[in-house]
A and B are shown apart, each in its own frame.
Chain A
């Protein structure tokens, strides 16, 4: 059995006087120890909400979470706040996109790192400080003892993200969720951070859920890739297979619309028509149908089922892109 099994996860936001929003609409995937699983999609596809739901960080009021998330025998979605706090930061940790807003600006870095150690590992005073310095050193922050006394604003963006990673890995979590961990960073810093994450996964056999919009990042480090659209997984495959033979028109569209460094000028990009706003509710057919060139009559009316293939590749489409016609 996998370390984390997410089954039919759904998140619905209800607000009085406003339309009900199905942000996540039946997402299933699983993560093994030492595996990197990606949730990829554009803004509004539900990738971040998925991670927040798993961590129990959605507001109690207004957000309705359904389905199940089995973490090594524990049902995460059924836990009360108290037991969730014991797991969060210890067994499951999260790295957010913007390190400046996820670190407390008025508390020195050191206290923010030792806090986790004290809470979850029962360390105290000197031992915690020593361990905190070790952690900062491990994530590549030079002169860690001095850094411990500094405030977040005194660190650069890349260093802040490293500090955040140090906090996340402080208790050697078995599952790490990284929500767009490098989106706010420059490419050279991004390369450093991705390398660090890869190292952590390799060395401590941590499972990593990588949430990103960047297919380039995914291509470099993820084992299993789930492409999300409008709150559902539309295609799921192992890394090489997904890029070599994408079947869902949305995945193909995404790949064709990315300018690539290794492709010359003058080659026209093939954008996807319309925008994420042109979406059909899944209950009325394929949500991607309004933007899809391969739409057929069967796309509308009934929600398309996930079609599995023998290689573990599956896609949610009634008229998939043939294998040889790859992007």
Chain B
């Protein structure tokens, strides 16, 4: 296999929590991303899923250095990004672009589409003159399925799906190799979602793009990704080829997440069994010791889980961060009902309730 386009090693992004009126005193850190290793193969799609607050967007931004990583390394096509001087970094940005969730707030309402698209070209000195730039732009418009007359219009004149197309065009116009798409379809209606998902698929086939897709919707991620990484509280808990992950999820969190996704089919819905998780995500400012998930995990064991942080390890082609993955998968360990304690900063959030767990491990759709 050829060298992956993006290689992330032990990436950390910690945001300081400060107090004080005049002097900022750092009282702690929010560990948004806390040691992530991943590789995005060239021409493929890597899907990153997780619930809000798990650090998936921060990870995406840190890879592009839109948020400065605290530690770790990001290699893009063999070049170490984290140590690149700003001028060089700006040059690299041409090769890596981002698509944002909400096209309304990521497009300047006072710029027309032409000006939005031409801005990047000018900044990177692409196209010798106006005519050449126009040619590039009209080619891009065709590619994303926007009409010619769109050029002189403003973002508010378009529907949500069309706005997202403008966002995609803005990323594409520079001819990037990597596109980081942060929740590209979650703001859109289902019928429009499908249009945009198909468009992303087609563009990948045509242009050989590499995608890092960040989304909370597992069904969407499964649909467009070759490899899927599941994040929980700042770290990857499982990574596997898309089909394998859905056929045989190994990490308890992945299992719970998958059993919670509604499937538009009553036959399936009636048959399947849910793993309900207790409470909410613990605060990333004060993550639980040991396995991050052990406070909510229906399979948590008295040994190891609470005091030893599991690392990603290979289990039959899946990378999973769980001490007991094999035993859980073979059915040796059963789910139990647990009342879990959460460690939280004083006065923040709540303690979680009881996990109501049905007794039989079941099939996951």
Contact = CB atoms under 8 A, between A and B. Distances in A.
Interface centre among B52, B192, B194, B218 (most CB of A within 10 A): B194
Contacts of A194: 262
A20 interface: no
B362 to A, nearest CB: 14
A106 to B, nearest CB: 17
A267 B246 CA distance: 15
Interface in A219-243: 219-220, 239-240, 243
A216 B263 contact: yes
B31 to A, nearest CB: 19
Interface in B227-272: 242-243, 246, 256-269
A262 B191 CA distance: 19
Interface stretch (A89-97, A113-121, A271-279, A295-303): A271-279
A157 B216 CA distance: 16
Nearest to A276: B189
Given A216-B261, A219-B265, A191 B276 contact: yes
A84 interface: no
A143 B243 CA distance: 41
B191 A253 contact: yes
A141 B189 contact: no
A250 to B, nearest CB: 9
B350 interface: yes
A265 B201 CA distance: 11
Nearest to B202: A268
Given A270-B194, A271-B195, A188 B189 contact: no
B197 interface: yes
Contacts of A42: 189-191
A259 B220 contact: yes
A255 B260 contact: no
B223 interface: yes
B222 A216 contact: no
A191 B218 contact: no
A240 B269 CA distance: 11
B218 A254 contact: no
A260 interface: yes
B353 interface: yes
Contacts of B269: 216, 219-220
Given A42-B189, A188-B257, A265 B194 contact: no
A187 B197 CA distance: 20
A186 B51 contact: yes
Residue of A157, A255, A261, A263 contacting most chain B CB atoms (<10 Å) = A261
B263 A156 contact: no
B292 interface: no
A142 B355 CA distance: 12
B194 A214 contact: no
A181 interface: no
A81 to B, nearest CB: 35
A260 B217 CA distance: 10
Contacts of A214: 262
B220 A187 contact: no
Nearest to B347: A154
Contacts of B216: 186-187
Nearest to B53: A186
A277 B157 CA distance: 12
B159 A277 contact: yes
Contacts of B365: 261-262
A213 interface: yes
B249 to A, nearest CB: 11
Contacts of A147: 350
Q: Which of A187, A215, A216, A243 has the most CB of B within 10 A?
A: A187
A189 interface: yes
B264 A215 contact: yes
26 contacts: A42-B190, A141-B353, A147-B350, A159-B350, A187-B216, A187-B217, A187-B218, A216-B264, A219-B265, A219-B266, A219-B269, A220-B262, A258-B193, A259-B219, A259-B224, A261-B258, A264-B242, A264-B246, A265-B222, A265-B225, A271-B192, A271-B195, A272-B191, A275-B159, A275-B161, A275-B191
Given A140-B353, A261-B219, 7 more contacts: A142-B350, A188-B51, A188-B277, A213-B190, A219-B263, A257-B194, A268-B198
10 interchain residue pairs of minimum CB distance: A216-B262, A257-B194, A271-B194, A259-B223, A191-B260, A272-B191, A186-B51, A215-B264, A269-B194, A42-B189
